[in-house]
Amino acid sequence: MTSPINASDRQAQKTFFIKTYGCQMNVYDSERMGEALVADGYTETAVLEDADLIVLNTCHIRERAVDKVYSELGRIRDIKEQRLAAGKSTSVTIAGCVAQAEGAEIARRVGVVDVVVGPQSYHRLPALVRQARTDGQIIATEFLDNEKFDALPVRKRARNTAAYLTVQEGCDKFCTFCVVPYTRGAEFSRPMSQLLDEALKLVAGGVREMTLLGQNVNAYHGVDAAGHEVTLVGLIRALAAIPELERLRYTTSHPRDMRDDLIELHATEPKLMPYLHLPFQAGSDRILAAMNRKHTAADYLELVRRIRAKNPALALSTDIIVGFPGETEAEFEATLEMVRTVQFAQAYSFKYSARPGTPAATMDGQLSEAVKTERLHRLQALLAEASTRFNAGCVGKIFPVLFEKAGRRPGQLIGRSPYLQSVYADVDVAALGRIMQVQISAAGPNSLAGVVCA
C-alpha cells in the first residue's frame, strides 16, 4: 500500500510531461496520473525538455511498440544528460501496458529509467518517483486488487467538453492475439456510485459528452449503492439522468456481450449516440475460432441485423486484423466480404503482429510481411470507399454538433457529429462547449463541413 502523501513530501514547483501512446484508456490513465502529480505539487509542461519528470504511457497493441519505447528512451537519455550538465535532475517513468509486459527488461537494459509502473499501480506514481530518488530504480507491476480508483485524487477539472470515463478494466476473453488479459488483468467493473460521483464532477467542470471506456465495456457488471448488480444498461440510464450530460458513448464492445436490453437502449435512450464500435476481427470462421473469438461470421451479421432493426440510423465502426497465422487468401476474402456486407462508417485495420506470451505468437503459419502488407492495402482501399460513401451520405443532413475547439481559420470551430466525425463550421467562439444544429454542406474522407442553422 502507498503511504499517504503529506505536505512535507510535496514537490516544490516540479514539472511533469506525459507522452501517451495508444488507446483512449491510456488517454484517461494519463489524465489521472497527471491529476495525481498535480495533487502532489507538480505542474504540467508541454515541453519535454523542461520536465523534471517524464512519463511514457505506453501501448502494447500496435506493432513495434517496444521499439518505439527504446527509441524514445534514447532521445530522453540525451535530454537527461544535457539537463544534468545544467544542474537539473530528471526522473523517467515508463507506464502502461509495455511497462507491465516488458518494463523490467527495458529498465534493466536502459539505465535511464527510474520507475516502471503498470496500469494497476499508477496511483502510486508520485510516491514511487520519490522512493526511486533514494532507493534507485523501482519496478511496480503487481496487480493490486483494483485499489487504484479508490486511491486516486478526486477529479477537479475537465480538459474538454468531451471526456472519457473508465468504467471497466481488464478482460477474461483471452483472444489468442491479445495481451490485454496479461497486462490489464482480469475483468473488473468499478462500482456505480464511484462512477456517478466522477461523472458529476466532470459535468460540473463543463463536460457535456462522456465516453464510457472498458476493454470489454459491454460486459460491465458493477454494483449500485445497495450492492445490487448493475449492467451497462443500468449505468447508462443512471448517467443519462444527469441533466447537463447531453451525450453518451461506450467503447470497446465484444459481440458476445451485446445483450438485447443494450441493443434496445439504442432505440430508446436519446442521449446514447447512434454509433457503435463493434470489432469483428476476421471474416473466416476458422480464423475466428483460432483467435478464440467465440463467435462466427454469421453470428456477427445477425447481431448487426438486430441492432440496425432497432435503430436504422445507427452506424458501425470496427477493428480488423489481417494476416493472422495460417490465414489463406480465401479466408482473407471472407474478411473483405464481411466489409462489403456490413458497410462500416469507420474501421481500424492492422497487420497481425506477434505479441510475446500470447498463444498466436507461436502458432504455425506465420505470414510474411509482404503478404500482410498487400492484404492490408486491399482491405484499407475497401474500407476507405465505405467511409467516404458514409460521409458523402451525410451531406444535406442536419446534425447536432458539439463544438470542442478552435479551427485552423479565425472564426472557425471544430465539433463532433453523433457519428464522431469532425465537423468544421464558421461560428462564434461562444458556441464552444455547446451543441448546435449544423447542416452538412461538404464531406471529405475524414471530416465534414457545415453551416450552423439559424
Residues in contact with ligand SF4 by CB under 6 A are: 171, 173-175, 178, 180-181, 215-216, 254
**Cβ distance to ligand SF4 smaller for residue 303 or 392:** 303
Measured distance between the N- and C-terminal CA atoms of the chain, rounded to whole angstroms: 57
| φ, ψ for residue 102, nearest 5 deg | -135, 15
The distance of closest approach from Cβ of residue 256 to ligand SF4 in the complex, given in angstroms and rounded to an integer, is 9
The distance of closest approach from Cβ of residue 186 to ligand SF4 in the complex, given in angstroms and rounded to an integer, is 11
**Cβ distance to ligand SF4 smaller for residue 350 or 399:** 350
Q: From the CB of residue 416, how many other CB atoms can be counted at a distance below 10 Å?
A: 22
**Cβ distance to ligand SF4 smaller for residue 219 or 448:** 219
| φ, ψ for residue 316, nearest 5 deg | -115, 145
Angle at 401 between CA 396 and CA 407, to 5 degrees: 100
**Cβ distance to ligand SF4 smaller for residue 103 or 185:** 185
- For the four alpha carbons of 295, 297, 301 and 304, in that order, the dihedral sign comes to positive
The distance of closest approach from Cβ of residue 359 to ligand SF4 in the complex, given in angstroms and rounded to an integer, is 11
**Cβ distance to ligand SF4 smaller for residue 72 or 169:** 169
**Cβ distance to ligand SF4 smaller for residue 23 or 37:** 23
The distance of closest approach from Cβ of residue 14 to ligand SF4 in the complex, given in angstroms and rounded to an integer, is 35
Q: Are 323 and 372 in contact (CB under 8 A)?
A: yes
**Residue 296 burial (10 A CB sphere; 0-12, 13-18, 19+):** middle
**Cβ distance to ligand SF4 smaller for residue 34 or 181:** 181
The distance of closest approach from Cβ of residue 347 to ligand SF4 in the complex, given in angstroms and rounded to an integer, is 15
The distance of closest approach from Cβ of residue 28 to ligand SF4 in the complex, given in angstroms and rounded to an integer, is 16
**Cβ distance to ligand SF4 smaller for residue 11 or 176:** 176
Q: Are 413 and 425 in contact (CB under 8 A)?
A: yes
Proportion of the chain in helix, strand, coil states, percent, rounded to 5: 40, 25, 35
Q: Report residue 177 as a C-alpha cell.
A: 492475439
Q: Residues 6 or more apart from 86 whose CB is under 8 A from it?
A: none
Residue ranges with strand state E in 344-408 = 346-351, 398-406
Buried-exposed string 92-122: b where 16+ CB fall within 10 A, e elsewhere = bbbbbbbbbbbbbebbeebebbbbbbbbbbb
